[in-house]
Chains A and B, each alone.
Chain A
Amino acid sequence: MEGEPSRGPIMTRICWRSVDILSRMLSSGEREAVRGDLAESGATGRQALLDVLSLVIRRQAALWAHWRPWLTRVGLVVPLGMLVSVVSRRVAGLSAVYMWMYANNWDWNLLGYRGFWYQFAQSFEEIFLVYLTLVCWSWTSGFVLGSASRGIIRLNSVLFCVILSFGGLLGAPLYLAFLDRYLHRTLGLPSLPDSNAPVFELTFYRLIFPLIVQAILVVVPALWGLRQGAGVVRVRPLFRALLCAVAVATLAAMLIQIPELGLFLKTYRRPWIRQWEARLQFVVYWPVLYLVATSIGRRWRLGVGSI
């Protein structure tokens, strides 16, 4: 770093390294001015660290003092995080059964049966579409959150990950267990033995597999969507409105398709909701189209630029 000691006692180096890391939390203009002021005043590593820390704390505290970030957190981060966690848990449960069926009961002789291949292709198609839908919902949730988190993108990313972790580890399992009991009590369903019990008796499918699904198919796409959503302010207003409409339609499809919410909305009594569900299913895959289109657009602009 120019103007700052790059060699010296270990504490000094640690302080300046911390200043480097902390100052990344400031806006680029402010970072430039503050680092310049520190260099000009000949501040020691400890003084520089205290100064930058005091500014970062003030800036972060200011983010909690306005109503808009709170609205984003309460209105988007928490409900989206919990909803996606519940969906992820359901998807993990479904795919765990298929995985157990093939991985834990494997028999090489099955490869000789045409029926096996037919069944395998069907299972693969079903799981692929369910996974793709989950990835698209997670990406869209991140995208909506990113577009609403101007200036607090990093903080909201961390909070979203916290909510997803809470939802994956505790919220979703507790909610689904409660729902199961509630449905049995209110609908008077008989207590039949769970046909999938052998799958979930195994610790891997009960505890570890849902977390792997949540990490790969929810957290990664959601953070990717957050970054993409943060850049949406730069696009034209009409295109931005179109993206928002598509994202809202995707989240609506997620709400309709969650069985317990469908029960709450009484979708079984409203056939038009079912019709919309079928139409919205095509909209759900919009992130794929969007990412392909933006990638082609970027390559095209680079190609034009290099001519």
Chain B
Amino acid sequence: MLGEFEYLIISAASRLGEDAYGAAIRKEIEDATGDRCSIGALYTTLDRLEAKGFIKTRMGDPTPQRGGRAKRMVRVTANGVHAASDFYAAITRVSRGVSWKANRVAVQ
């Protein structure tokens, strides 16, 4: 089972496709969640996902807008797609019939 942050990374990398790399994934996550995504959390989670076989990474070519530095390109593997799909299905199932608006009112 994936963790929440792992799911966010796999989803962002899948959406970006061939253009998935550290900074782009970070921006996708920050735009989607509205929270700051630290480089420390991103790169350690990328390593963990790679160790689990859910993504593959490689060093890309250096670009001028990055000060001539290379990108760490990310590609989601078939296992990664499967794990993210299972996570999404589980979240959908567990959320079925739950009305957050009603609960929020009840708590108040």
Contact = CB atoms under 8 A, between A and B. Distances in A.
Interface of A: 1-4, 29-30, 32-41, 50-59, 62
8 contacts: A29-B59, A30-B43, A33-B21, A33-B69, A35-B67, A36-B69, A51-B40, A56-B40
A210 B78 CA distance: 62
A29 B46 CA distance: 14
B40 A36 contact: no
Contact of A39 (B39, B41, B69): B69
A36 B23 contact: yes
Nearest to A34: B39
B46 to A, nearest CB: 10
Given A40-B23, A41-B23, A41-B26, A54 B66 contact: no
A131 B69 CA distance: 48
B70 A33 contact: yes
B59 A37 contact: no
Contacts of A35: 67, 69
A62 B62 CA distance: 29
A60 to B, nearest CB: 11
Interface in B1-38: 21-23, 26-27, 38
A208 to B, nearest CB: 44
A37 B41 contact: no
Given A41-B27, A58-B40, A34 B22 contact: yes
Contacts of A3: 65-69
Contact of B22 (A33, A52, A54): A33
B71 interface: yes
A29 B38 contact: no
Interface of B: 21-23, 26-27, 38-41, 43-44, 59, 62-63, 65-72
Nearest to B66: A36
B67 A54 contact: no
Contacts of A41: 23, 26-27
B67 A39 contact: yes
A32 B23 CA distance: 12
A54 B71 contact: no
A52 B22 CA distance: 14
B43 A36 contact: no
Contacts of B62: 36
Given A33-B70, A36-B66, A41-B27, 15 more contacts: A29-B70, A29-B72, A32-B70, A33-B43, A33-B59, A33-B69, A33-B71, A36-B69, A37-B22, A50-B38, A51-B38, A52-B39, A55-B39, A55-B43, A59-B44
Contacts of B43: 30, 33-34, 55
A30 B43 CA distance: 8
B66 A39 contact: yes
Contacts of B63: 36
A55 B44 contact: yes
Contacts of A55: 38-40, 43-44
A40 B62 CA distance: 12
Contacts of B27: 41
Given A37-B22, A41-B27, A58-B44, A32 B69 contact: yes
Nearest to A2: B67
Contact of B66 (A40, A50, A56, A58): A40
Contacts of A59: 44
A198 B40 CA distance: 59
Contacts of A38: 39
Contacts of B69: 3, 32-33, 35-36, 39
Nearest to A29: B59
A237 B58 CA distance: 28
Contacts of A4: 67
A265 B26 CA distance: 61
B70 A54 contact: no
